[in-house]
Amino acid sequence: MPSTPPFRDRFAPPRLELQDLSLRFGAVRALDGIDLAVQPGEIVALLGDSGCGKSTLLRVVAGLERPDRGSVRLDGAEVGAVPPEARGVGLMFQDYALFPHLTVAENVRFGLHALPRGPAHTRATARLEQVGLAHRAASYPNTLSGGESQRVALARALAPGPRILLLDEPFSNLDRRTRDRVRADTLDLLRETGTTTILVTHDPEEALGFADRIALLRAGRVAQVGTGADLYRRPASRFAARFFGDLVEIAGPCRGGAVATPFGPCPAPGFPEGAALLACWRPEAIRLVSAQDGIPGRVVGRRFLGATALLSVAVEGFDAPLSLPVPGTDGREPGTAVRLACEPGDAFVFAADGD
């Protein structure tokens, strides 16, 4: 997970502040009371399933959509009536939207009309050098690879020096190997330039690896906002917990402030006696232990993934085998008896009948 950028002043006023943003498209409530603040130099990911409001929120910030209610403030000033081109917002689309009839250099200079030709050329060249594509300045977009197109689009978005950069699924069109490299290069450049950024993504791994904080959206609302560690280790709801990966789950009533599980009683503070609860663990929280400890299980399947493997382990008290990650060198085969343990206090406990 990204470390805190050294240039970010935690006590500075927000670069972007959204208050009570709501927007309907007919009967569909696309945004429903969104509150969010982004600090200067911060990278925030908007994460969620398709249709949850991520791209709509980005378009509202850019000025391409007008909310029915709420305010958008940039550096403390309300910009609801300010046209998109005057907001100082850079927007990079999923398909990059490069102009096919313009060269790479001309694409990057496109947003620099306010500058004389000489300074515009100098700035565009500097941005292309930053993304490692100065040698392709005279090329046309149809000659570029996917990764090169993404970097040109990034250079074009950064060339005017935007107050905030909005990225809408910018890596989704790249193959995995190219995506990992371009994503790392992009993050380095955003850190180097101190660019305040909002990234839209549906990929939890991308959000965890790219952003300082994550705003998890669901049905037009912010379900939870915090660092990646906050959302992964301290999810506020079962929805948030499940969004970041598989869970081992077991249901039971609240008895004496805890829910009984095969691993022992899990504390359930704040729930009433008899409430139907769900205790959940991340698979990596469950350990294979020596024969003297833990509860018995039996390996019923093994899937080799290279550096890691997944063991399917049948355990009494669980309706389905548990899928547990182990090192790829682990040699346990189906039929092997094992014992498992975890800390009951590591469980997330939620009401069984909702989020």
Question: What are the C-alpha distances in Å from 269 to residues 232, 254, 255, 351?
Answer: 20, 9, 11, 12
Going by C-alpha positions, the residue among 354, 295, 292 that lies closest to residue 324 is: 295
pLDDT band at 355 (very low <50, low <70, confident <90, very high): low
- Residue 6, pLDDT > 60, answer no
**Strand order across the beta sheet in which 276-281 lies:** 266-267, 258-259, 248-255, 276-281, 348-351
- CATH code assigned at 288: 2.40.50.140
- Do 224 and 75 lie in one domain? The reply is yes
- Do 158 and 210 lie in one domain? The reply is yes
- CATH code assigned at 113: 3.40.50.300
End-to-end alpha carbon distance in the chain: 26
Q: Is residue 149 part of a domain?
A: yes
Q: Is residue 7 part of a domain?
A: no
- Residue 141, pLDDT > 60, answer yes
Q: Is residue 2 part of a domain?
A: no
- Do 217 and 93 lie in one domain? The reply is yes
- Do 223 and 185 lie in one domain? The reply is yes
| Cα 320 to Cα 53: distance, rounded to the nearest angstrom | 34
CA dihedral (224, 228, 230, 235) positive or negative: positive
- Do 180 and 318 lie in one domain? The reply is no
Using the 3D structure, point to which of 218, 239, 260 is the last residue of a domain.
239
- Do 318 and 259 lie in one domain? The reply is yes
Q: Is residue 138 part of a domain?
A: yes
Q: Is residue 184 part of a domain?
A: yes
- Residue 140, pLDDT > 60, answer yes
Q: Is residue 11 part of a domain?
A: no
- Do 161 and 194 lie in one domain? The reply is yes
Instruction: Supply the range of the domain harboring residue 231.
Output: 16-239
CA dihedral (88, 93, 96, 98) positive or negative: negative
Q: Is residue 169 part of a domain?
A: yes
- Do 54 and 198 lie in one domain? The reply is yes
Q: Is residue 120 part of a domain?
A: yes
- Residue 291, pLDDT > 80, answer no
**What pLDDT, in 10s, does the model give residues 201-241?**
999 999 999 999 999 999 999 999 999 999 999 999 999 99
Q: Give pLDDT, residue 60.
A: 97
| Cα 268 to Cα 194: distance, rounded to the nearest angstrom | 43
* Better-scored residue on pLDDT, 42 or 290: 42
- Residue 5, pLDDT > 80, answer no
- Do 180 and 43 lie in one domain? The reply is yes
- Do 30 and 49 lie in one domain? The reply is yes
Residue at token pair 């682990």 = 330
**Domain count of the fold of the chain:** 2
- Do 296 and 225 lie in one domain? The reply is no
Q: SS3 of 228, please?
A: helix
CA of residue 264 relative to chain centroid, distance: 33
pLDDT band at 7 (very low <50, low <70, confident <90, very high): very low
- Do 183 and 44 lie in one domain? The reply is yes
Q: Give pLDDT, residue 196.
A: 97
- Residue 293, pLDDT > 80, answer yes
